[in-house]
Chain A
Amino acid sequence: MRKLAAALMLLALSCTASAQSTVPPGNADALPIEAAPPDEFQPPAESVVAGLSSDSVAITASFDGSDILIYGAIKRESPIPEGPPLQVIVTVEAPSSGVTVWRKERKAGIWVNAQSVRIGAAPGFYAVATTADLDDILLPEWDNRYRISLPLAMRAFAGQVAVESAVPFTEALIRIREDEGLYRLDEGSVSLIDQTLFRADVSLPANLVEGAYKTRIFLLRDGQVIDVFVAPINVRKVGLERWLYRLAFDQPFLYGLMSLLVAVAAGWGASAAFQKLRRP
């Protein structure tokens, strides 16, 4: 019960960051909200109201990862329906970019990159947190529709696929990114109380890339998605990090000269300092 009270309090405190999924966006600044499942004509019997502990992440020089708390409640007009219990899936994803996955082969005794699969868009970071085993709570057709599970998070092979099967390549991409902490599937990490209140903690790694991140919260019953909530997380560099980054891209020549100046000054400074040290 203490958990419940805490979650309620959090909810009350942060109404600014929260939004209701079934209400259409009133103005341009409102959070982009995905349409409710297409075959629903009236508001779903159960819908999500959720918020984030922060809707932006600032990357400073000492940034070494960040934890985001995603919490919310289920809003319903009628009593809790009978049948299988409610389930919640929370995903956080970074903007996507193209990647090439290479497979090495032995040619003339040495290992070389032989075959490749080009993936048009794979998120730089993707975390899935659930209340139970993903396979048990989500039907494949609903997974396909919302692209929830890790293999479905990446889209579109770029160009022609020259290999027999692209599956080992996408599996390798997921495995390598999982090892780096960039892709994560945390089954059972979302806590749901009384089929009403939930919270999920998602930790963002230190090797984070700037961009507009997206959080999605899915409500499921009997393997089917009954409501979706989407909220953005803005990840951006601030202060010195931002200034250097902008300079490098807007004024590359100036930035290059500055880098050289730092190098020459440091080299000269050390030389002069050691000269003094040797002959005091």
Chain B
Amino acid sequence: MQIYLPIAEVSVNAFTLIGLGGLVGVMSGLFGVGGGFLITPLLFFIGIPPAIAVATGANQVVASSVSGVLAHVKRKSVDFRMGGVLLAGGLVGSWMGVWVFTLLQELGQVDLVVQLCYVVFLGLIGMMMLQESIRALRRSRKPGNRKRLHQHNWVHRWPGKVKFRASGLYISVIPPLLVGVAVGVLAAIMGVGGGFIMVPAMIYLLGMPTRVVVGTSLFQITFVTAFTTLMHAVSYNTVDIMLAVLLIMGGVVGAQIGTTLGAKLRAEQLRILLALLVLAVCGKLALDLFLTPDDFYAIQPGIG
């Protein structure tokens, strides 16, 4: 069933979009990532103009994270205090990120920077997670090992300590605030919610238990992407609500399936899966950069 999108001004198959939304929704519920890093390239691929793909992708992520976060609230796996601190940093960061994005646009080469960002960050995070989770999986197979709650590192020596009860942490607010800002900046430049950076940062930098990481990340993503959507709608008119509704229809159902699946899988397995997914997307983008392109020419609307 073909449907004409009023803002994107292209005609696409409605079922393809619902399917795409569903796929990304499952990822969202399963891993606590918004799925922006998947939905945005996928929308490019089916011919949605990039600016509209980024803005509408953000809107879709709002829906799937709301759906996911509600499920996590019921399971009491959201650290609201931590989420609030990350969010405060995130909003500042995304405001800064938009400023950087505009600067890059003036210099040209914004596409290249975005693509390089994806490759570098996805590659680093994917490798880190894969290595760590394989090690964790091995360790858990050998019983009798006394497991510490988390490693104490530099994060625990900063001032301004706050109790994050749901995470079982007593750390300074500065590191989560900085993580929030960093993720916000990257999120705005790369046009994603930032969950795929947030989740590993929470686990490895802040030492949060995996149990609350997904819910808290979704909580933060909901607000950051809502802010991004509104900003795009107001300043660039690039949110296509028809496209968003179709993606959302698939997305919300997918998110619920993902959350249910997530409760059945073990944390280490979940992390290995996410690491592999991140590496796969990274590999695809890296190939695009290094392989000789099919077409040396590309058209960009506008003569800015």
Residues of A whose CB lies within 8 Å of any CB of B are 59-65, 97-104, 106, 109-113, 118-120, 158-159, 168-169, 172-173, 175-177, 206-210, 237, 240-242, 244-245, 248-249, 252-253, 255-260, 262-264, 266-272, 274-275, 278
Residues of B within 8 Å of A100, CB to CB, are 299-304
B106 within 8 A of A: no
Q: Given A97-B301, A262-B245, A266-B252, A237 and B289 touching (CB < 8 A)?
A: no
Interface residues of B in 248-304 (CB under 8 A from A): 248-249, 251-253, 255-256, 260, 288-293, 295-304
Q: How many A-B residue pairs have CB under 8 A?
A: 198
Contact of A244 among B47, B109, B242 (CB under 8 A): B242
B224-263, CB < 8 A from A: 226, 229-230, 232-235, 237, 239, 241-242, 244-245, 248-249, 251-253, 255-256, 260
* Other 13 A-B pairs with CB < 8 A, given A98-B302, A110-B112: A101-B299, A102-B299, A113-B109, A172-B296, A172-B299, A176-B299, A207-B11, A241-B6, A248-B6, A255-B241, A259-B59, A259-B244, A263-B229
Instruction: Flag if A259 contacts B241 (CB, 8 Å).
Output: yes
Q: How far is the CA of A112 from the CA of B290 in the complex (A)?
A: 10
Whether B66 and A60, one on each chain, are in contact in the complex, defined by CB atoms closer than 8 angstroms, is: no
Report Cα–Cα, A267/B111, bound state, in Å: 31
Cβ A109 vs Cβ B290 within 8 A:
yes
Q: Flag whether B71 is at the interface (Cβ < 8 A).
A: yes
Q: If A101-B297, A113-B112 touch, does A61 touch B248 (CB 8 Å cutoff)? A: no
Complex Cα distance, B253 from A272, in Å, reads 11
Q: Decide yes or no whether B51 CB sits under 8 A from chain A.
A: no
Partner pick for B241 among A159, A262, A272, CB 8 A cutoff: A262
Query: Which among B1, B112, B253, B260 is the interface contact of A112 at CB below 8 angstroms?
Result: B112
Q: Give min CB distance, B56 to chain A, whole Å.
A: 8
Set of chain A residues within 8 Å of B44, measured between Cβ atoms? none
CB of A111 within 8 A of CB of B4, answer no
Closest to A249 in B: B237
Q: How far is the CA of A207 from the CA of B8 in the complex (A)?
A: 9
